[in-house]
């Protein structure tokens, strides 16, 4: 097996850049193969252009890299939700825009999305097996966005939900179900996505006066 291609050495103080490249390489392997087992220390090192032992300065093992991929994917989701709703003044419009951004991301990065909710942490993973609150889950920022979006609808008098948390969970379940089924049954004659979101969000968020989408 030929050695990995030469890689320019990071300047002093740029060790975090290598860490980011390792995580990005692992995520690329996942998307390219659709198989989490493709993320190995050797495969990641080869993709980055370093030797496998160099990874240990940043990650203890393969599981730590996979966990970092998950954290990074959730951070990307949160950033996409914020970007999609920035400047949208209407709270219902923000809720719709965020829902569409969620589905778009799931379609663009199907393997990473599948791993977000489809894998179980190993016993020695740093992820708590049963978080006590939503604030302690991996991906808390993304779910927090949904909670805030529904709360804004309540504050504006647009939602009569008896529980912001319950509505947020129900909308998440609906979005996840649609994203997962759409990916696995793409030959199904799906209805218009925006029309479906109108109905789901209006019902699950208890919208009093649903308006046109942004």
For each of the chain's 214 residues, which pLDDT tens digit applies?
444 454 455 544 456 899 999 999 999 999 899 888 999 999 999 999 999 999 999 999 999 999 899 889 899 999 999 999 999 999 999 999 999 999 999 999 888 898 888 765 554 445 555 566 777 777 788 999 999 999 999 999 999 999 999 999 999 999 999 999 998 998 999 999 999 999 999 999 999 877 645 5
24: tokens are 């990005």
Write down the pLDDT at residue 117: 82
Write down the pLDDT at residue 148: 95
Write down the pLDDT at residue 13: 47
Are the C-beta atoms of residues 196 and 178 closer than 8 Å to each other?
Answer: yes
- Phi, psi at 208, each rounded to 5°: -80, -35
What count of residues does the chain have? 214
Global pTM? 0.80
Torsion of CA 25, 79, 194, 188, to 10 degrees: 20
Write down the pLDDT at residue 133: 76
Q: What's the CATH fold of domain 67-204?
A: Tetracycline Repressor; domain 2 (1.10.357)
CB atoms within 10 A of CB 16: 10
- Phi, psi at 38, each rounded to 5°: -70, -15
Are the C-beta atoms of residues 91 and 152 closer than 8 Å to each other?
Answer: yes
CATH number of 8-59: 1.10.10
Write down the pLDDT at residue 135: 75
Distance CA 89, CA 75 (A): 23
Write down the pLDDT at residue 126: 52
Domain boundaries of the chain, sorted by first residue = 8-59, 67-204
């Amino acid at each position: 097996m030929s050695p990995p291609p030469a890689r320019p050495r990071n300047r002093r103080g740029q060790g975090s850049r290598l860490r980011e490249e390792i995580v990005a390489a692992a995520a690329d392997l996942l998307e390219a193969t659709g198989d989490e087992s493709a993320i190995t220390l050797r495969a990641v090192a080869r993709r980055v252009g370093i030797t496998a032992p160099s990874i240990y300065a940043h990650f203890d093992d393969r599981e730590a890299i996979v966990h970092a991929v998950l954290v990074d994917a959730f951070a990307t989701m949160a950033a996409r939700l914020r970007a999609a709703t920035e400047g949208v003044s209407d709270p219902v419009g923000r809720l719709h825009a965020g829902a569409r951004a969620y589905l778009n991301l799931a379609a663009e990065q199907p393997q990473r999305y599948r791993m977000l909710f489809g894998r179980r942490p190993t016993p020695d993973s740093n992820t708590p097996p049963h978080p006590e609150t939503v604030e302690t889950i991996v991906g808390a920022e993304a779910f927090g966005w949904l909670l805030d979006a529904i709360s804004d609808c309540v504050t504006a008098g647009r939602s009569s939900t008896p529980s912001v948390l319950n509505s947020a969970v129900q909308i998440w379940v609906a979005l996840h179900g649609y994203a997962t089924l759409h990916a696995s049954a793409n030959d199904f004659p799906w209805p218009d996505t925006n029309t479906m979101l109108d109905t789901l969000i209006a019902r699950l968020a208890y919208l009093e006066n649903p308006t046109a989408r942004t």
